[in-house]
Amino acid sequence: MHLIILGAPGSGKGTQAVRIKERYGLAHISTGDILRAEVAAGSELGRRAKAVMDAGQLVGDDIVLAMVGKRLAQPDCVRGWILDGFPRTRAQAEGLGRLLAGADLDVDLGLLIQVQPEEVIRRLSGRRVNRASGRIYSREELIHLADATGEIPAAGAAPEGGDFYQRDDDKADTIRDRLAVYEEQTRPVIDYYENHDKVVRIDGAQPMERVTDAIFSILRDRFGSRESA
Ligand code: AMP
């Protein structure tokens, strides 16, 4: 199974990708996670990427394509994969197509999670990340910490221990830039896969569990009930 998960920042792609990975035993490849790990490690790539990421802009296509090419060559990808946050431009989609053609592979399906922009802003500005595990807490999970204006603190104690923080690019100004980038640069990716008849749409405004059920039902119809052990 070779999947991509599409949708605006904050549409719930990452959460759903982890669930799909667990259910079907796929490799979960999130270019955002790979880039954040490079930033945390202080690598040359991380240093160059950080400024771009903090501004809500996209890291160069060549860099991201090389990163994904390297990751797809790792042994766990043989059982199938789900790409999350990639491709984000038409050039990346075309580059991925070339990479896969070399291995006689193709994207089987693109899952597009649709959420209105107002909801995306609400979710991103309220979400926090566990510094140690990377787990994301939604506004709803942290609402008890909110002050009278409904603002959740940027940092604090995480429900499962450790601490949480707000991603620099989840701050209000950057969210707007990320959404603009999504509309301009990532929408064409949806058109690209739609032209190849590979896109299924899922209503991402439903509760997370319902979104997961909808995705599993689509995958069952297309691929049967293969699950990881
Ligand atoms: P994400 O966690 O997917 O929202 O990604 C966070 C940031 O990493 C993005 O706003 C971009 O700056 C960068 N990034 C992640 N994936 C890509 C990609 N496929 N192409 C370019 N930049 C990316």
Per-residue pLDDT 10s for the chain (229 aa) are 999 999 999 999 999 999 999 999 999 999 999 999 999 999 999 999 999 998 889 999 999 999 999 999 999 999 999 999 999 999 999 999 999 999 999 999 999 999 999 999 999 999 999 998 888 899 989 999 988 888 899 999 998 899 999 998 999 889 999 999 999 999 999 999 999 999 999 999 999 999 999 999 999 999 987 654 3
Predicted confidence at residue 134, as pLDDT, reads 86
Residue of 33, 47, 88, 179 to test ligand 1 pocket, by largest number of atoms within 8 Å of CB: 88
Q: Cβ atoms within 10 A of the Cβ of 14, count?
A: 19
Using CA atoms, how far apart are residues 45 and 63, in angstroms rounded to an integer? Answer: 9
DSSP H or E segment with residue 28: strand 27-30
Predicted confidence at residue 149, as pLDDT, reads 86
178 is catalytic: yes
Cβ < 6 A, ligand 1 pocket: 9, 31-32, 35, 52-53, 56-59, 64, 85-86, 88, 92, 169, 178
Predicted confidence at residue 147, as pLDDT, reads 87
Predicted confidence at residue 226, as pLDDT, reads 60
Write down the pTM of the prediction. Answer: 0.89
Residue closest via CA to ligand 1's atom 19 equals: 86
- What atom of ligand 1 comes closest to residue 60's alpha carbon? 21
| CB of 121 closer than 8 Å to CB of 183 | no
Superfamily of domain 2-115+203-223 in the CATH hierarchy: P-loop containing nucleotide triphosphate hydrolases (3.40.50.300)
Catalytic residue, candidates 131, 167, 171, 198? 167
- Give me the residue spans of the domains in the chain: 2-115+203-223
Instruction: Write the single-letter amino acid at 187.
Output: R
Residue closest via CA to ligand 1's atom 1 equals: 32
Number of alpha carbons in the 13 Å side-chain half-sphere of residue 69: 17
